[in-house]
Structure 1
Amino acid sequence: MRLVLASQSPARLATLRAAGLDPEVVVSGVDETQVTSTDPANLAAALAQLKCRAVAERVEGDALVVGCDSVLAFEGEILGKPADAADATARWRRMRGRSGVLHTGHCVRRGDEEFLDSASTVVHFADVTDAEIAAYVATGEPLHVAGAFTLDGYGGAFVRGIEGDPHNVVGISLPLLRLLVADVGVEWTSLWSARDEA
């Protein structure tokens, strides 16, 4: 089964590879601003669907296409990627010592069959100092991710805990993806790639 990841996220790709899968990456190139919603889970799912469909139209043959998108719900706002370093700094000053909910939309498509859902994980941010925020923003990492933080990079030290699936915070919920893959008639373990034994 050809597995196609409709995302340029290195974290999503690394998560899938660590789980035994070897997807082909095809970037959707869609304009995310065409989708709006006041509900963060619905917005994440709609963006995932937009990416998945755009890539599925370009992929020939029997392929399983997976699209994902993440947003952070924080104090009534929906936060995607920050606009710039100043925006990332301002966000972290607001988020430190507080909690938000990271929503990741998942869309799986095989032929004419498509299934869509989202996963949510509560993220508790550490009470970091201004100097730590400045150093983190200077790495550039928070400028490229929803909510301006990562769990699997420099930002991991600034997350004091989570409630829910940790993979979801990285950008792809493996338990949810397993269920969606089953919905289109594919057994999760059949997607595991053969590995060389060292």
Structure 2
Amino acid sequence: MRFVLASASPARLGVLRAAGIDPSVVVSGVDEDAIIAGLGDASHIDTVTALARAKAAAVAETVTTTHTDAVVVGCDSMLSIGGELVGKPGDPATARDRWSAMAGRTGELLTGHAVVRIEDGRRTEQATGTQGTTVRFAAPTPEEVDAYVASGEPLAVAGGFTLDGLGGWFVEGVDGDPSSVIGISLPLTRKLLAEVGVSVVDLWRQ
């Protein structure tokens, strides 16, 4: 049985490898903005769950011919803070503004998960869920923010920060699952795998 990660995130891949799984990586290529636009006034939890479901479904469609026995796992992370749901800043100005708004505050990093089971080359079962983790941000100086933005790291990560990289210097603490903040919740993924009839220990590298 293959574990297929429907994500290009090196952080998610790193979490899984450190936890004993060597997944195949297949990027979904879904249009996230279009999906969000189609959701209308969906809740923050429903939004990240829908994105994760779309990613897993898209990859499952492409791998059924090459992976006749597999689980496809898709994830999507966004930061809920001040009533707003924010994703990747994308450019330095947005990242700098984001940190001005986050400094000294608390937000909830939401990571949607979707697991699709493939058996005999066809999709058989699916399970979804979302993990929320409270993140307490420090108040970096303007010079520190400028240096962090100049590093390029915050531009392409949910909420404009990391826990396992340079951004970790500016996170006072987390209340909940740290692996979910990095990009994939190990406890939730284990539960979702069980829902589709797969034990995580059977996926560990031998």
Could you tell me which residue of structure 2 aligns to residue 192 of structure 1? 204
Percent identity over paired residues = 57
1:135 counterpart = 2:160: no
RMSD, matched Cα: 0.8
SS of the equivalent of 2:62 reads: coil
Which whole-Å deviations, capped at 9, do the CAs of 1:62-83 have from their partners, x for residues lacking one?
1100000001001011100013
2:54 corresponds, among 41, 50, 56, to 50
- Identify which of 72, 79, 82 aligns with 1:75: 82
TM-score by length of 2: 0.92
The question of whether the paired residues in 1 share the 8 Å contact of 2:80 and 2:107 is answered with yes
The one of 102, 110, 118 aligned to 1:103: 110
Which 5+ residue runs of structure 2 have no aligned equivalent? Answer: 118-122
CA contact (8 A) 1:141 1:154 kept: yes
Deviation at 1:112, TM superposition (A): 2.1
The answer on whether the counterparts of 1:40 and 1:72 sit within 8 Å (CA) in structure 2 is no
Q: How many residues align?
A: 194
Which residue does the alignment assign to 1:18? 18
Instruction: Kindly provide the amino acid, as one letter, of the partner of residue 109 in structure 2.
Output: L
Structure 1 residue runs of 5 or longer lacking an equivalent are none
The Cα shift of 1:39 comes to 1.5
- TM-score, length basis structure 1: 0.96
Displacement of 1:127: 1.0
Q: CA deviation at 1:41?
A: 1.2
The one of 192, 196, 201 equivalent to 1:180 is 192
**Distance in 2 between residues matched to 1:33 and 1:19, nearest whole Å:** 31
